[in-house]
Chain A
Amino acid sequence: MKSTKTDIVVIGSGPGGHAAAFYAADRGKKVIMVEKDDVLGGVCLNVGCIPSKAYLHAAKLIQEAQESDFRGISFNKAKLDLNKMRAWKNSVVGKLTGGIATLAKSRGVEVMYGRGYFEDSKTLRVETKQGQKFVTYDKAIIATGSHPAMPPAFDLGNKRIMTSTEALEVEEVPKNLLVVGGGYIGMELSTVYATLGSSIVLVEALDQILTGADPDLIRPVIKKAEKAFKEIRLKAKVLKMATYKKQIRVQMEYNGKEMEELYDRVLVSVGRVPNSSDLGLENTRVQKDEKGFVRVNDKLQTDDPMIYAIGDIAGGVLLAHKASKEARIAVDAILGENVTKKEIIVPAVVFTDPEVAWAGLTEGEAKQRGIKVEISKFPWSASGRAVTFDRTDGLTKLVVEPETERLLGVGMVGAHAGELIAEGVVAIEMGATVRDLAETIHAHPTLSETVMEAAHAFYGDATNLYTPKKRH
Chain B
Amino acid sequence: MDVRLPRLGEGADSGTVSTIFVKEGDTVKKDQSVLELESEKAVASIPSPVSGTISKIYVKDGDEIKVGTLIFSVAEGEASQSRDVQLNVPAHESTEPESPAEEPVAVAEESVPAMMPMMMEEPVKSASGFPPPASPSIRKMARDIGLDLSRIRGSGNGGRIVLTDVRAYIQRLQTLGTQPKAAAPAATTPKPAPVSIDFSKWGSVEKKKMTQLRKAISNKMTESWTSIPHITQFDNVDITDVLALRKKFQKAYERKKANLTLTPFIMKAVVETLKKHPIFNASMDEATEQIVYKNYYNLGIAVDTEQGLIVPVIRDVDKKSMLELSIELQDIAERTRQRKVSLEEMQGGTFTISNQGGIGGAHFTPIINKPEVAILGVGRGSLQAVVKDKKIQQRMIVPLGLSYDHRVIDGANAARFITDFVQAMQDFSEKQVKI
Binding site for B on A (CB under 8 A): 285, 303, 305, 337-340, 343, 361, 366, 371-373, 401-406, 408, 429-433, 435-436, 471
Contacts and interface: CB of A to CB of B under 8 A. Distances in A.
Contacts of A471: 25
B126 A403 contact: yes
B127 A403 contact: yes
A361 B136 CA distance: 17
21 contacts: A305-B198, A305-B201, A339-B140, A366-B128, A371-B128, A401-B127, A401-B158, A402-B127, A404-B127, A404-B158, A405-B158, A406-B160, A408-B130, A429-B135, A431-B156, A432-B160, A433-B133, A433-B157, A435-B80, A435-B158, A471-B25
B143 A431 contact: no
B25 to A, nearest CB: 8
B126 A406 contact: yes
Given A303-B200, A305-B198, A338-B193, A433 B127 contact: no
B139 interface: yes
B131 A343 contact: yes
Nearest to B204: A285
A404 B80 CA distance: 15
B160 A433 contact: yes
B147 to A, nearest CB: 11
A337 B129 CA distance: 26
Q: Is the interface of A mostly helix, strand, loop or mixed?
A: loop
A409 to B, nearest CB: 10
A471 B131 CA distance: 26
Contact of B139 (A343, A404, A405): A343
A305 B128 contact: no
B93 interface: no
Given A343-B139, A429-B136, A431-B156, A401 B130 contact: yes
A10 B130 CA distance: 34
Contacts of B47: none
Interface residues of B, number: 28
Nearest to B132: A431
A99 B343 CA distance: 64
Contacts of A436: 157
Contacts of B402: none
A176 to B, nearest CB: 48
Contacts of B371: none
A338 B128 contact: no
A401 B198 contact: no
A181 B201 CA distance: 44
B200 A285 contact: yes
A338 to B, nearest CB: 5
Interface centre among B80, B128, B130, B161 (most CB of A within 10 A): B128
Nearest to A439: B80
A298 to B, nearest CB: 10
Nearest to A435: B157
Given A431-B134, A431-B135, A372 B127 contact: yes
Main secondary structure of the interface of B (DSSP, over half): loop
A431 B198 contact: no
B128 to A, nearest CB: 5
Among B25, B133, B134, B201, max chain A CB count under 10 A is at B133
A373 B193 CA distance: 32
Nearest to A373: B128
A404 B200 contact: no
Contacts of B139: 343
B104 interface: no
Nearest to B56: A404
B306 interface: no
A385 to B, nearest CB: 27
Contacts of A435: 80, 157-158
Nearest to B127: A403
Interface in B134-152: 134-136, 139-140, 143-144
Nearest to A337: B144
Interface string B75-108: 0000010000000000000000000000000000
A305 B200 contact: yes
A163 B131 CA distance: 40
A314 B161 CA distance: 32
A338 B144 contact: yes
Contacts of A339: 140, 143
B159 interface: yes
A354 to B, nearest CB: 29
Contact of B128 (A340, A372, A430): A372
B142 to A, nearest CB: 10
Contacts of A373: 128
Given A338-B143, A343-B131, A404 B136 contact: no
B157 A340 contact: no
Contacts of B132: 431
A328 to B, nearest CB: 12
A151 B163 CA distance: 53
Contacts of B198: 305
Contacts of B144: 337-338
Contacts of B136: 429-430
Contacts of B133: 404, 406, 430-433
A47 B145 CA distance: 43
A35 B160 CA distance: 44
A340 B158 contact: no
A402 B157 CA distance: 13
A408 B132 CA distance: 11
A324 to B, nearest CB: 15
Contacts of A408: 128, 130
